[in-house]
A and B are shown apart, each in its own frame.
Chain A
Amino acid sequence: AQSVTQLDSQVPVFEEAPVELRCNYSSSVSVYLFWYVQYPNQGLQLLLKYLSGSTLVKGINGFEAEFNKSQTSFHLRKPSVHISDTAEYFCAVIRGGYSTLTFGKGTMLLVSP
Chain B
Amino acid sequence: DGGITQSPKYLFRKEGQNVTLSCEQNLNHDAMYWYRQDPGQGLRLIYYSQIVNDFQKGDIAEGYSVSREKKESFPLTVTSAQKNPTAFYLCASSSQGRSTEAFFGQGTRLTVV
Contacts and interface: CB of A to CB of B under 8 A. Distances in A.
Interface of A: 9, 32, 34, 36, 41-46, 49, 51, 90, 94, 97-106
Contact of A104 (B6, B42, B92, B103): B42
Interface in B79-113: 88, 90, 92, 94, 96-107, 109
17 contacts: A32-B98, A34-B101, A41-B88, A42-B106, A43-B6, A43-B104, A43-B106, A43-B107, A94-B99, A98-B48, A98-B50, A99-B100, A100-B48, A100-B58, A104-B42, A105-B40, A106-B40
B11 interface: no
B43 interface: yes
B61 interface: no
A92 B16 CA distance: 34
Given A41-B107, A105-B41, A46 B50 contact: no
A71 B104 CA distance: 30
Contacts, number: 65
Interface residues of B, number: 31
A43 B92 CA distance: 9
B48 A46 contact: no
A53 B103 CA distance: 23
Given A41-B107, A43-B107, A44-B90, A99 B102 contact: yes
B33 A100 contact: yes
A24 B45 CA distance: 20
B31 A98 contact: yes
A43 B43 CA distance: 11
Nearest to A101: B102
